C-alpha cells in the first residue's frame, strides 16, 4: 500500500509539473507526448525511491504532503540539471538561453558545460549534506530560526540561479529576486509542522515554491510569453486552445494536495518540528 500511494503521489507531482511546462511552452515549441511524459515518469521513480530508501512515508496525510513537495523539488532539480548542462539544443530560438550561459551568452563547449555541471551537482549534494548535518550535529537552534535558515535555503538558490540566467537579458528586479525566499519560508512553516527532517523541510519548501510561482506565472498571465520566448513567434497557435484540456487535471492535483494539507492540519500531524 505504501508503494502504491508513493506511485500516485509521484505521478501527481510529475503531471503537475508537466502541465505547466507544456502550457507555457507549447505555443512556441509545439507538443509531443514523449516530452510531456518525462516529468511524470521521473517523479514517480523519485517518489518510490524516497519511500524505499529514506524516512519518507506517505501513509498519512502529512506524509503525502511532504512527499509531494520533496518529489517536486528533486524532479525539477534533475530536469534543470539536464537542460542546463547536458542537453545539446539550438539556443537561437530562445530570448534567454536555457543552456549554461555567461552574461547571457550560451557556452558552446560541451566539455566546459559538463565540467561546470559536475561542479554544480557536487555543490547541490554539498548543500543537501550541510542541511542533513545541521539536523544531526549542528548547533541547536529554535524551531522558527531553523525554518528560516533551512526553509528559505532553496528559495535563495532559486533566486540566485534565476538572476544569473535572466538578469543579463531582462535586468535585475529586486522584488522578483526576493519572491522565492519569501514563498519558501511560508511553505517551510507548513512542511515543518509535518516533519522534523531538515532535508525534507528544505526540499519540500522548495518544491512547493516552484509549484506556486509557476502556477502564478503560467495561469494568471496565460497570454504573456515567458522571458525565454519574449521575442519568439507563436508557431503553434492551435496549442493555445488545446492546452486548456489539461487545466482540469492541473487544478485537480492542487485540490488533492490542499485537501491533504487540510487533513494533516486538522488531524494534528505528530512529529513535526513546529
Query: How many residues make up the chain in this entry?
Result: 274
From the list 202, 219, 206, the residue with the least C-alpha distance to 253 is 219
Q: Where are the domains of the chain?
A: 2-267
- Position 227 scores a pLDDT of 67
Q: Which residues contact 189 (CB under 8 A, 6 or more apart)?
A: 147, 151, 274
Whether residue 16 is predicted with pLDDT greater than 70 in this model: the reply is: yes
Query: How does residue 267 score in pLDDT terms, banded at 50, 70 and 90?
Result: confident
- 3-state secondary structure (DSSP) of residue 97: coil
Look at residue 98 in the predicted model and tell me its pLDDT.
81
Give me the pLDDT at residue 166, please: 66
**Please, what is the average pLDDT of the chain?**
90
Report whether 98 contacts 228 (CB < 8 A). Answer: yes
Answer yes or no: are the C-beta atoms of 38 and 11 closer than 8 Å. no
CA distances from 116 to 96, 99, 122, 125, 163 (A): 19, 12, 10, 14, 18
Question: Has residue 172 got a pLDDT over 70?
Answer: no
Q: What pLDDT, on a 0 to 100 scale, did the predictor assign at position 168? A: 64
Amino acid at each position: 500500500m505504501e508503494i502504491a500511494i508513493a506511485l500516485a503521489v509521484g505521478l501527481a507531482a510529475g503531471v503537475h509539473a508537466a502541465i505547466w511546462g507544456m502550457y507555457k511552452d507549447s505555443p512556441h515549441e509545439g507538443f509531443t507526448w514523449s516530452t510531456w511524459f518525462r516529468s511524470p515518469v521521473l517523479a514517480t521513480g523519485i517518489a518510490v525511491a524516497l519511500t524505499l530508501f529514506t524516512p519518507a512515508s506517505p501513509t498519512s496525510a502529512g506524509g503525502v504532503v511532504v512527499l509531494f513537495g520533496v518529489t517536486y523539488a528533486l524532479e525539477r532539480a534533475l530536469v534543470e540539471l539536464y537542460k542546463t548542462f547536458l542537453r545539446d539544443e539550438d539556443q537561437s530560438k530562445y530570448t534567454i538561453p536555457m543552456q549554461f550561459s555567461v552574461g547571457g551568452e550560451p557556452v558552446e563547449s560541451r566539455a566546459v558545460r559538463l565540467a561546470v555541471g559536475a561542479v554544480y551537482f557536487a555543490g547541490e549534494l554539498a548543500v543537501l549534506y550541510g542541511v542533513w548535518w545541521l539536523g544531526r550535529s549542528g548547533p541547536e537552534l529554535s524551531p522558527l530560526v531553523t525554518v528560516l535558515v533551512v526553509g528559505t535555503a532553496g528559495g535563495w538558490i532559486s533566486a540566485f540561479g534565476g538572476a544569473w540566467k535572466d538578469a543579463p537579458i531582462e535586468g535585475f528586479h529586486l522584488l522578483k529576486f526576493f519572491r522565492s525566499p519569501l514563498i519558501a519560508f511560508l511553505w517551510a512553516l507548513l512542511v515543518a509542522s509535518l516533519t522534523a527532517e531538515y532535508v525534507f523541510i528544505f526540499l519540500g519548501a522548495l518544491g512547493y515554491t516552484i509549484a506556486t510561482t509557476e502556477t502564478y506565472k503560467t495561469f494568471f498571465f496565460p497570454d504573456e510569453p515567458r522571458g525565454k520566448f519574449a521575442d519568439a513567434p507563436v508557431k503553434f497557435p492551435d496549442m493555445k486552445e488545446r492546452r486548456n484540456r489539461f487545466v482540469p487535471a492541473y487544478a485537480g492535483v492542487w485540490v488533492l494536495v490542499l485537501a491533504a494539507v487540510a487533513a494533516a492540519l486538522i488531524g494534528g500531524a505528530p512529529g513535526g518540528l513546529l
